[in-house]
Structure 1
Amino acid sequence: MLWSMPQHHDGPLARLRRGHEELVLDLLRRHGPLSRAELGGHSGLSRTTLYDIIAALVDSGAVVASAPAPAERRRGRPVEKLTLRPEAGQAIGIDFARRAVHVAAVNVAHEVIGSASEPHAPGLPWEERVDLAERLVGSLAGGSLRLGALSAIGVGVVGPVEDVAAGPPDAPVEAHPEQPDTAPGPQSPRTDLALLLRKRFGVPVLVDNNTRLAALAEATWGAAAGDQDVLYLRLSHGVGGGLVVGGSLHRGAHGLSGEFGHITVEPDGRRCSCGGRGCLETVASVGAVLDAYGRADDLPALLAALPADPAARRALDAAGSRVGTVLAAVCNAIGPGVIVLGGALAAAGDVLFESVERALTADLMPISRHRVDLRPATLGESGGALGAIALVLHESPLLARYPAPPDPLEDT
């Protein structure tokens, strides 16, 4: 449930106040716990107006204030953080990876309640994947999860997603993950997946590419938490990524951004699964590095060989150099402050990161070389599911029952 808000008369000043309340609640939904000073910086409201709005929201129960834990306190008066009341509901994220389902849950105060994963055989039908997701969701928080006020589920899928759909359970579906290798039945994967999820959970479904969602997760809870401009790259069996620009996920005009793995690095190189030739994915994916090394059947064997076999280090070094060159080109065009590198290949640690950083530093514009921070991802397999939750927190009309903010042109 949502706590009731104070009732106002419907004059211009009352509408303006409701708009201010909506703004503060929306900032807490998007960013999680914020101090009064941080809310002031984000909202642009005067100190007097902001404190009046916060007092009303705390009195109504919609917002709670808490002092930092003793370990987090510094000298001086403890700074209170304001959050939406955690009991107002939870958000669920599901990541349908190629061979596993990952789920996570977060409450409206941005506290992670839990996560779970389970592998499955390739080509598992969508209905069985949804069965698996439902079971995993039921295992979180002792089966006591409530969607509450959020009333939406975020979903990550493999492959391009041209649009993000959000609507009631019977609304038309616009998001369409392209996974022809795993799509059963006469319907398209997008229809199967969205309808199954809406039938099981009875709420709208927001869908996006799972790697792009991992970028949003790392900027919300992970390695780049609090940073506004983040470039994320995942090096796994495929290579892809995402951009967070100004604190929001960048999807591009047709929802096809983040395909960094299909930037050409060798014009006469190997044919790529996308139809191109010499893409980054053909030299920096797990399979490509294993082929370059030639002495290991899987990634764990390659990683185990690193301390003693120079050939294993050379294979990773070559891949890392290509990755660094691509990242520098994207940075020169986009200008992020943080680069987060994740995926299975990132388990190589310093061997990979050092080669990436060398090429990155060499190819960045000199003015940018000390302004871009390269960091390892921290969320692991739960990144896509947590990013799906972040999508709900950013996009879901959490406070839809409240009047919309006033139109500045309405009273002119």
Structure 2
Amino acid sequence: MSQPRGPLSQLRRGHEELVLGLLRKHGPLSRGELGKHCGLSRTTLYDILAELVTSGAVVTASAQETPRGRGRPAETLTLNPDAGQAIGIDFARRGLHVAAVNLAHEVVGSASEPHPADLSWEGRVELAERLIGSLTGTGSGALRLGALDAIGVGVVGPVAGPTAGPMGGPEGGPSSGPMGGPEGGPASGPVGGSAGPDAEDGGQEGGGADDAAVAEEVAPHPVQVLLRERFGVPVLIDNNTRLAALGEAIWGAAAGGRDVLYLRLSHGVGGGLVVGGSLHRGAYGLSGEFGHITVEPGGARCGCGGTGCLETVASIRAVLDAYRAAGGRADGVPELLKAVRAGDATALRLLDGVGARIGEVLAALCNAIGPSVIVIGGELAEAGGALIGPVERTLGEHVMPVSRHRVSLRRATLGEVAGALGGIALVLHESPLLSRYPAGPDLALEDLMNP
């Protein structure tokens, strides 16, 4: 699909988005009505419309009714929901989330389902296929796989970019070091190998330094190959937490923000950054590893190989273990949240301490990066004020005074499909947030398209 490559291309894309947005908001409009709404010159508007009609994004609607005696009814244009569709899939550690949009950028549907952490890639792709199938149907808004253009995928851990060296981890590939992923597992970059999906407790699997020395090409991630076989379309892949940050920055709590810090508190702890209006990926896809910032020197061992990381304090397992060790009873997050709502002193005291550690990390990041918006998502964020309150209090205590009243702390709004929606944005590659972002990571895309 097309992507902006320079100022003029970005300007044109902005004009196209303006026209598509007007048609989404107002429904079928004539060229004259579009001209009144958009403010573009007649020549520019007609040029943009011609391109949209040629691409199939816009089609002619039925002629609008006009009073008698005023000549032939004006031709109206409308969005073509069947022109093309994109699917986003978030392969999270213990669950799978899918979302689909049409070429008009309208969400066709979404679906989610939990699964065991040790489910194989084949099993996860089968589950994805079933969830995608649940979005198909005969209604006007149903997903039509025949119109599918591409799939954007989020996976746990660092994902090497188009020109980056091999990354290793759970797929059995080589590794350049004991760096874990934003969800707390080992690095899961698009590297050769087909060992099972993410190990529950992190740790590096696969080859050592000798393997890394001879591995010069980045092979497709197993999930890319499996999805390509099933759907026959390009599959782009990136870190799922970074894609969730992208989703929140486009459609969610931070929509419109140019400097955004996103933190997800789930089975792992990770995040993403929007810096100067662009999603930041970092060298070798390692941006957003907030869960591996040390908060307790000499503390518990982390899956990344370090000790005392934020993830050892603020991940779901860490919080539940600490709650049970303090005498609480909870088999999962729902029971913990129930205890919080009931005013359980043990749960509230625990979350106050966890929130303080999170606030310290966020304050340090704010002082280094200077975001205007901080978004907190993930299952633990559902604790609401019991967790967010201490985060906000500690953030205020440690951030530079000049920034104290300039940073907006918000809860995520997109829920569990944020990563899937970010995958769709990666496929469309039309958001200004991606203007300086690789069109991949798709180094193996040609191989996928020409097996």
TM above 0.5, yes or no, is yes
Unaligned runs of 5+ in 2: 24-37, 60-76, 164-188, 200-205, 207-217, 440-451
- What do the CA deviations read for 1:50-77 (whole angstroms, capped 9, x no partner)? 6532232225536669xxxxxxxxxxxx
Of stretches 26-35 and 210-219 in structure 1, the one that deviates more from structure 2 is 26-35
Q: What's the counterpart of residue 84 of structure 2?
A: 89
Q: What's the counterpart of residue 70 of structure 2?
A: none
- What do the CA deviations read for 1:39-59 (whole angstroms, capped 9, x no partner)? xxxxxxxx9976532232225
Aligned: 1:243 with 2:273: yes
Q: What's the counterpart of residue 273 of structure 1?
A: 303
Distance 1:140 1:110 in 2: 16
Cα drift, residue 275 of structure 1: 0.9
Kept after mapping to 2: 8 A contact 1:159/1:178? no
Q: Are the structure 2 counterparts of residues 34 and 369 from structure 1 closer, same or farther at C-alpha, using a change threshold of 3 Å?
A: farther
Equivalent position SS for 2:101: strand
Which of 332, 337, 342 is the aligned partner of 2:377? 342
Kept after mapping to 2: 8 A contact 1:337/1:372? yes
Q: What's the counterpart of residue 73 of structure 1?
A: none
Aligned: 1:302 with 2:336: yes
Identity of aligned residues (%): 62
Distance 1:177 1:30 in 2: 38
Q: What's the counterpart of residue 158 of structure 2?
A: 160
Q: Are the structure 2 counterparts of residues 150 and 28 from structure 1 closer, same or farther at C-alpha, using a change threshold of 3 Å?
A: farther
Equivalent position SS for 1:277: coil
1:139-288 matches, cutoff 5 A: 139-142=134-137, 145-146=143-144, 151-163=149-161, 175-176=190-191, 181-182=196-197, 190-288=220-318
Unaligned runs of 5+ in 1: 3-18, 37-46, 66-81, 166-173, 401-412
Q: What's the counterpart of residue 363 of structure 1?
A: 398
Cα drift, residue 34 of structure 1: 5.2
Which of 100, 108, 116 is the aligned partner of 1:121? 116
Aligned: 1:314 with 2:349: yes
Equivalent position SS for 2:284: coil
Distance 1:303 1:221 in 2: 27
Kept after mapping to 2: 8 A contact 1:30/1:394? no
Aligned: 1:380 with 2:415: yes
Q: What's the counterpart of residue 43 of structure 2?
A: 52
Cα drift, residue 235 of structure 1: 0.7
Cα drift, residue 96 of structure 1: 1.1
The one-letter amino acid paired with 1:228 is: R
Equivalent position SS for 1:227: coil
Distance 2:401 2:96 in 1: 43
Kept after mapping to 2: 8 A contact 1:224/1:340? yes
Cα drift, residue 175 of structure 1: 2.8
| CA RMSD of superposed structures (Å) | 3.7
Cα drift, residue 135 of structure 1: 2.0
Cα drift, residue 377 of structure 1: 0.7
The one-letter amino acid paired with 1:365 is: M
Equivalent position SS for 2:279: strand
Distance 2:193 2:351 in 1: 30
The one-letter amino acid paired with 1:107 is: N
Equivalent position SS for 1:182: coil
Kept after mapping to 2: 8 A contact 1:89/1:147? no
Distance 2:97 2:390 in 1: 31
Cα drift, residue 86 of structure 1: 4.1
Equivalent position SS for 1:195: helix
Q: How many residues align?
A: 347
Aligned: 1:27 with 2:19: no
Q: What's the counterpart of residue 130 of structure 2?
A: 135
Kept after mapping to 1: 8 A contact 2:93/2:267? no
Equivalent position SS for 2:190: coil
Distance 1:85 1:24 in 2: 23
Equivalent position SS for 1:103: strand
Q: Are the structure 2 counterparts of residues 30 and 273 from structure 1 closer, same or farther at C-alpha, using a change threshold of 3 Å?
A: farther
Q: What's the counterpart of residue 104 of structure 1?
A: 99
Q: Are the structure 2 counterparts of residues 270 and 225 from structure 1 closer, same or farther at C-alpha, using a change threshold of 3 Å?
A: same
The one-letter amino acid paired with 1:337 is: S
Cα drift, residue 381 of structure 1: 1.2
Distance 1:31 1:255 in 2: 32
